[in-house]
A and B are shown apart, each in its own frame.
Chain A
Amino acid sequence: MGATFTVARRELAGYFATPVAYVFIVIFLVMSGALTFTLGNFFTRGTADLSPFFNFVPWLFLFLVPALTMRLWAEERRLGTIELLLTLPLAQWQAVLGKFLAAWAFCAIALVLTFPLVITVNYLGNPDNGVIAAGYAGCLLVAGAFLAVGAAISALTKNQVIAFVLTVAVCFLFTAAGSPVVTEFLSVRLPVLVEIARGISITERLGGFSRGVVTLRDLVFFASFIGFWLFANAVVVDHRKAD
């Protein structure tokens, strides 16, 4: 495990050594706040909870997380440091996991920095803080799911723009799959696919979390989703590392 955390630590320090971290965090905080207060009708809806915030976070992550992951492996290939990293005495899965954990920890930091919202809602009313905690856990899991997708796609290509666009597309697929537009369309045309679409939908899973309902099924879904993409990541890295 030592090597995994060493890799994670280096990666995380790398985010803060470049403007990437600050741009990401500032944009995330500004956008999440602005969306919650404007489109989310935070004040006028008259309920002391953070559900407008939790509704917007996955859509923000949809664009911000791929920006974070696009460089994960693509940059290592461009600089040639992938050769250095993979000839150090660590297993490939340790490099894959280390990079993922660093990016995930970074998203956790960004989420923690939205704490003024929690303070605000507690100051204005008496929200159920358990529900808020569950909502945050759900957002973190969504971030993890997108990161795992993005990391695997980043290993596929040297080109960061391609990595970004493909990641947004794949994550959008999993986000939009459960939306009413898609399910209504499918129920008319291809009713068999409705359950599958809802089954793979990330927003569908997040719905439970933002109501404060954390079920084992949802946790297993996220764990296997992240596990699958990390496995794919390791396979791709192994196959294409020297190309």
Chain B
Amino acid sequence: MSALIEIDRLSKRFGAFTAVDDVSFRVAKGEVLGFLGPNGAGKSTTMKMLAGFVTPSSGTARICGEDVVDRPVTAKRHLGYLPEGAPTYPEMTVAAFLGFAARVRGFRGSEARDRVAHAMHLTTLEGVRLQPIETLSKGFKRRVGLAQSLLHDPPVLVLDEPTDGLDPNQKHEVRKLIAQMAPEKAIIISTHILEEVSAICTRAIVIAHGKILADATPAELAYRGPSLEAVFRDLTMPREHV
């Protein structure tokens, strides 16, 4: 099976600091990849490069075979991306914001309306469709960002901390939604929450200091130590602190 996401020797340096160091991996259709690592490990930078927001210092990434550096606009058409913190325009209503995203993606008229309605249905936003986003709670804002990334039913989904700030019920809903879509898509989610990885991911990559430290299924990772937490600490903490 061909990979929908290919990360090819990707590096990003900020001055003397190397945020991402020669990272390569592939994600195939049907996989949900959990991207794990401590803060500042390079998770978000890798995702930003994949989404075409940060320009790589070297290497490249391909989405559905389209190079994100050489053909950014085409690559982005196949991508649904939820940036870290789920930024949205605060003064817009939910419906206006999603309508804007739909029109930028080239949907017009009734098709745009259907897409927006469907995305709001998936993320249960119908009740707040005419509210300005700034008046919504953190959980709703996160779901607005998620709805935006699902709008065009993309084959590739990159979600940076999709369940951050949600209450347990909402987390459950989002995980259910991701699990539902998983067979048809290649999905990367970054998270701090290890239970989330065992719950929805088919594969986990642990990254620290810009390097991949482990690439295995959650079960295999957990098998390496007493618990997934212990394995994670063991992998990502500097040796002298262990």
Contacts and interface: CB of A to CB of B under 8 A. Distances in A.
Contacts of A90: 73, 104
A88 interface: yes
A208 B87 CA distance: 46
B88 interface: yes
Given A87-B51, A241-B53, A80 B85 contact: yes
Given A84-B88, A242-B48, A13 B76 contact: no
B31 to A, nearest CB: 21
Contacts, number: 71
B91 A86 contact: no
Interface string A4-28: 0011001001100110000000000
A18 B91 contact: yes
Contacts of B89: 10, 14, 79, 81
A177 B169 CA distance: 64
A210 B132 CA distance: 43
A96 to B, nearest CB: 14
B193 interface: no
A133 interface: no
A83 B47 CA distance: 11
A2 B106 contact: yes
Pick from A84, A91, A241 the residue with the most CB of B within 10 Å. Answer: A84
Interface string B73-105: 110110101011101111110001000110111
A223 interface: no
Contacts of B91: 14, 17-18
Contacts of B84: 80, 83
Contacts of A6: 100, 103-104
Interface in A59-112: 79-81, 83-84, 86-91
Contacts of A238: 55
Contact of B87 (A17, A18, A79, A241): A79
Contacts of B105: 88-89
A87 B88 contact: no
Residue of B52, B74, B90, B104 with highest tally of chain A CB at under 10 A: B104
A3 interface: yes
B148 interface: yes
A14 B92 contact: yes
A153 to B, nearest CB: 22
A219 B74 CA distance: 36
B54 A242 contact: yes
Given A6-B100, A17-B92, A84-B148, A89 B87 contact: no
Given A86-B53, A87-B53, A90-B73, A80 B103 contact: no
A3 B132 CA distance: 23
A241 B89 CA distance: 17
A137 B96 CA distance: 33
A6 B104 CA distance: 6
A158 to B, nearest CB: 14
B73 A83 contact: no
Contact of B83 (A7, A14, A18, A87): A87
Nearest to B80: A87
Nearest to B68: A87
Contacts of B148: 84
Contacts of B145: 84
Given A17-B92, A83-B48, A84-B148, A10 B87 contact: no
A89 B54 contact: no
Contacts of B79: 87
Contacts of B74: 89
A82 to B, nearest CB: 8
A6 B48 CA distance: 24
10 contacts: A10-B89, A13-B92, A14-B89, A14-B91, A17-B92, A79-B87, A87-B51, A88-B76, A89-B77, A242-B54
Given A80-B84, A89-B105, 5 more contacts: A2-B106, A3-B104, A10-B92, A87-B83, A91-B73
